[in-house]
Structure 1
Amino acid sequence: MLFVVLLAMVAGFLALRLYMVLGKRTGHEQVLPKPAEERAPVTSLPRPIEVSQEPREIANRNIDSRAEAGLRAIVSAESTFDVGQFIEGAQSAYRMILEAYWKGDEESLAWLVNDDVRGAFAEAIAERAAAGHVLDNRLVSIERAMISDASVDGKLARITVRFDADIAAVTRDADGNLVAGSMSDAVETHDVWTFARTLKSSDPNWKLADTDEA
């Protein structure tokens, strides 16, 4: 009987030790992905996630030193902002906006750009259609996307990104005949786009607010 009691005590001790090791989070566990129905929908620019954004994480090769103060101001106002994810999202937005503009897809542009940019794009699309021209462009690659400026004015945050890309640009007429350009020769393109968003708003999307050439 004593032997059984001792075994029970040993088993209880081992169970307690096992709980102390496995029952506590150490910070190194892998988190399983959520089911598809629980995941947040994909947006043109990534939704902010809760990460620690230390000042040392601001400076990297994809950020001009002139933008660091503005980025810190954004992080200070909205600690969930993630610089690395923004750059990735900006590249996705660059591709989506260009492709929508080339196709004349004003519906997609409506939720990717602000009203001013949308109006300018709509005017250019209308002029293109009036001339009977169709763009058959292709974004070959984005060589670099670098944040060149950032600022906060009240609750409005603005981030400027320089895109260095290779684009195959072709213009055809209504019958598909080549008017200009070549699909075999990519053109080096340098665009400077500014994205804007109201901080702490319910809308997590950054929208294109200004375009320029470098």
Structure 2
Amino acid sequence: MSLYVVILFAAIAAFLALRLYSVLGKRTGHEQPLPRPAEERVGAPQMPRTIDMPAEVRDTGPRALESGAEGGLRALVAADPSFDVGQFVEGAKSAYRMILEAFWKGDRETLEWLVDAEVRDSFIAAIDAREAAGETLDNRLISIERATVSDIALDGRVARITVRFDADIAAVTRDKDGNVIAGSLSDAVQTHDAWTFSRTLGSGDPNWKLSDTDEV
């Protein structure tokens, strides 16, 4: 078999494996994650750690991790060696888009499995108020200019990761007759958000959920 064929088969196998991973940072092989549209990177298999081996902070590129989060990352990797912060950030960007679009469209079902109960209730209350007023949102996420992990914290087995997003959003509010009452689709607005995603390490659910939102 030629080297070219071997490389081709390896690339096909890597692509198939790629589609099996969940959107945020977890690689397991036996869990059944919810379907996500994000393309993700597959890292090298994790070698067993000895008890005296320090937790590894992987090379994540210049923009994936802010310096203040490095200590939290070491603690998280020590607790969950399969965590990959670069993969997490890519998944967080996909989740950011999906959650915003679900909220704008009033898609309660999608919000149900992307956010935790407190955030979901807040979003749904806003959707209910909007619908009661007969208003609709015609918003578009133009681009995510930056997404970086600003904080990582462990509370027992619960991990919380805060991601700062700088994005351009075109926002329009329409009344019940479809008339524009606020915003413009031709003039994007810069937004700066800090979203916190949470997950219980070692649980059967590999997915991270949005647990807090803030503007920065």
Sort the TM-score into its range (normalised by shorter chain): 0.7 to 0.9
| Matching residue within 188, 209, 212 for 1:210 | 212
Return 5+ residue gaps in structure 1 as ranges: 1-21, 23-27
**Secondary structure of residue in 2 paired with 1:180:** strand
- The residue aligned with 2:123 is 121
Structure showing the higher helix proportion among its residues: 1
- The residue aligned with 1:13 is none
- The residue aligned with 1:165 is 167
| Matching residue within 98, 113, 124 for 1:96 | 98
- Per the TM alignment, residue 41 of structure 1 is displaced from its structure 2 partner at its CA by 4.5
- The residue aligned with 2:149 is 147
- The residue aligned with 1:8 is none
- Per the TM alignment, residue 55 of structure 1 is displaced from its structure 2 partner at its CA by 2.6
Question: Could you tell me the percent identity over the aligned residues?
Answer: 59
2:24 matched to 1:45?
Answer: yes
Return 5+ residue gaps in structure 2 as ranges: 28-41, 47-54
- Per the TM alignment, residue 47 of structure 1 is displaced from its structure 2 partner at its CA by 3.5
| Matching residue within 185, 188, 201 for 1:186 | 188
**TM-score in terms of structure 2 length:** 0.79
**TM-score in terms of structure 1 length:** 0.80
Q: Partner letter of residue 90 of structure 1?
A: A
**Secondary structure of residue in 1 paired with 2:12:** coil
Q: Partner letter of residue 191 of structure 2?
A: T
Deviates more, 1:106-115 or 1:36-45: 36-45
- The residue aligned with 1:31 is 10
Alpha carbons of structure 1 residues 81 and 36: separation in structure 2 relative to 1, 3 Å: closer
2:140 matched to 1:138?
Answer: yes
Distance 2:11 2:82 in 1: 21
- The residue aligned with 1:109 is 111
Alpha carbons of structure 1 residues 35 and 163: separation in structure 2 relative to 1, 3 Å: closer
Please give the per-residue CA displacement for 1:132-175, whole angstroms capped at 9, x wherever unaligned.
Answer: 11000000000000111001111000000000000000000111
Contact 2:142 2:169 in 1 (8 A): yes
**Secondary structure of residue in 1 paired with 2:159:** strand
Distance 2:79 2:57 in 1: 14
- The residue aligned with 1:5 is none
Please give the per-residue CA displacement for 1:18-69, whole angstroms capped at 9, x wherever unaligned.
Answer: xxxx9xxxxx997343499877546443542664583352673321111111
Q: Partner letter of residue 31 of structure 1?
A: A
RMSD between aligned alpha carbons? 2.8
Instruction: Number of aligned residue pairs: give it.
Output: 190
Q: Partner letter of residue 24 of structure 2?
A: L
Q: Partner letter of residue 87 of structure 1?
A: V
Q: Partner letter of residue 83 of structure 1?
A: V
- The residue aligned with 1:84 is 86
Q: For residues 51-90 of structure 1, what are the structure 2 equivalents within 5 Å?
A: 51=44, 52=46, 54-55=56-57, 57=59, 60-90=62-92
Deviates more, 1:118-127 or 1:194-203: 194-203
Alpha carbons of structure 1 residues 36 and 87: separation in structure 2 relative to 1, 3 Å: closer
